[in-house]
Amino acid sequence: MTKSYSLNPDNPLLDLSGLPRFAEIEADQVESALDAALTQSRTKIEAVESQCPTASWASVASELQDIEEYLERVWAPVSHLNTVRDNAAFRVAVEACLPKLSQFHSEVGQNLKLYEGYRKITNSPDFGDLSSARKKVVKNALRDFRLSGAELEGDARERFREIVSELSTLCNRFDQNLLDATDHWCLDILEENDLQGLPQSAIDLARKTAEDASLPGWRFSLQAPSYIPFMMFCENRTLRETMYEAYVTRASDTGPDAGKFDNGFLMVQILALRAEMASLLGFADYAQYALEDRMADSAQEVSEFLQTLAGRAKEAAIEELDTLRRFALTERGEQNLEAWDIAFYSEKLKQSLYAFSDEEIRPYFPLPRVLEGLFFVTEKLFGVKVRETSCA
């Protein structure tokens, strides 16, 4: 696929000759890489458009898939790094690119020449000779064109594009607020007595986090490697409550960081735009629109499934909660089990019943052994052998 594209090894995002060069990707490379990729993609699409009057799988569907794959390979590393290596410069770069990406996808999704090309494929005598997988790809593409507003006209068509762009920006802002809220709040502990019950691995991580911030004591965060063991093992119930409240109120108008990263208004905007988008396409609501590419046929079917599932699980859940309450009362004299007690007493109950704790298996799963097991399974299932190579 990449042979037909102009690659630029000087920009790691445009070097598709191998695996992504994550360590070399910098914020100032993002927008220029996307601009170059979009320019090439638009040129390729123009070539595909010229084939639409006599469209075939090879001349239209396959070519468009290659374009989508190319753009995905350029942008996927950016999207990934924006999640795991968050910083201000990278955020600015991503936010500058999102409207451009949204515009491109709208252009493709509402491209009547491409839409008509896919329709010609389904109406051609050769369509019956395609594999079931390729037939499914073509049918899904036609559905996606309709869901992208390809059949809209005039102001409705333009408004649909605006909504898609706005939603892209708002959803990204929502994710960033949640990330900021998770990163911002910390619990600093100075008294060693407050660490009772915590495994040494959690204590060591908290100590390093405090040292990195040039602080004494131990710092616990809302990140999973810190939060989960704290809630499972910390004997100090008051501190567990503090951690729990901070976690469940992230990016909201309540809790210790109330209003700082509040996603409430963003949620209202997102819901309103989704409803408008669905209405433009003739759907009763966004739920109906969203189900167009899912297995369920209606929102009622989804609701009934969830209600049935809840009904079947409720009895067992109540029984398990009652068992946990009895255990907490018997072992600790705890009369009122709260949400911040569930993980703690569940771990205690497991240790009591099975003389086993998750922490006991940690020494048996160092990273090299986990990778060895992962690669063994990969080879056994897929016949793929993974060998170490130089990053140079």
Tens digits of residue pLDDT in 3-33 = 567 677 789 999 998 889 999 999 999 999 9
Look at residue 378 and give its three-state secondary structure: helix
Determine the structural domain holding residue 116 and report its residue range.
2-151
Count the domains in the chain: 1
Q: How far apart are CA 150 and CA 146, in angstroms?
A: 5
176 belongs to a structural domain:
no
Please indicate, yes or no, if residue 40 is contained in any of the structural domains.
Answer: yes
Residue 188 included in any domain? no
Which residue has tokens 């407050």? 194
Asked if pLDDT for residue 177 goes beyond 60, the answer is yes
Decide if 257 is inside a domain: no
Residue 287 has pLDDT above 70, yes or no: yes
Tell me, what's the pLDDT at 137? Answer: 97
Give percent above pLDDT 70 in the chain. 98
Q: Does 360 fall in a domain?
A: no
Mean pLDDT of 327-340: 95
Q: How confident is the model at residue 130 (pLDDT cuts 50, 70, 90)?
A: very high
Q: What is the pLDDT, as a whole number, of residue 362?
A: 79
Average pLDDT value for the chain: 94
Cα–Cα distance, 392 to 388 (Å, whole number): 12
- For position 363, what pLDDT does the model report? 82
Q: What is the predicted pLDDT for the residue at 261?
A: 97
Residue spans of alpha helices (H) in the chain: 30-49, 62-84, 88-109, 112-123, 132-147, 154-184, 200-212, 224-233, 237-248, 264-280, 286-290, 299-332, 342-354, 367-382
Task: Give pLDDT tens digits for 191-244.
Answer: 999 999 999 999 999 999 999 999 999 999 999 999 999 999 999 999 999 999
Tell me, what CATH number does 64's domain have? 1.10.1370.40
* For range 127-140, the mean pLDDT: 97
- Convert the pLDDT of each residue in 155-167 to its tens digit: 999 999 999 999 9
Q: Is 265 within a domain? A: no
- Give the pLDDT of residue 3: 54
Task: Evaluate whether residue 78 is within a structural domain.
Answer: yes
Within a domain: 233: no
| DSSP secondary structure, 44-80, as one string | HHHHHHTTGGG--IIIIIHHHHHHHHHHHHHHHHHHH
Q: What is the pLDDT of residue 155?
A: 97
Work out the burial of residue 356: count CB atoms within 10 Å of its CB; fewer than 13 is exposed, 13-18 middle, 19 or more buried: exposed
Give mean pLDDT, residues 169-179: 95
Report the predicted TM-score, pTM, of the whole model to 2 decimal places. 0.85
Contact 232, 344 (CB under 8 A): yes
pLDDT band at 1 (very low <50, low <70, confident <90, very high): low
- For residue 307, pLDDT beyond 70: yes
Alpha helices of 111-215 — where are they, by DSSP H?
A: 112-123, 132-147, 154-184, 200-212
- pLDDT at position 358 is 74
Instruction: Report residue 2's pLDDT band, with 50, 70 and 90 as the boundaries.
Output: low
Selection from 358, 321, 320 nearest residue 338 by Cα: 321
Per-residue model confidence (pLDDT) at position 391 = 58
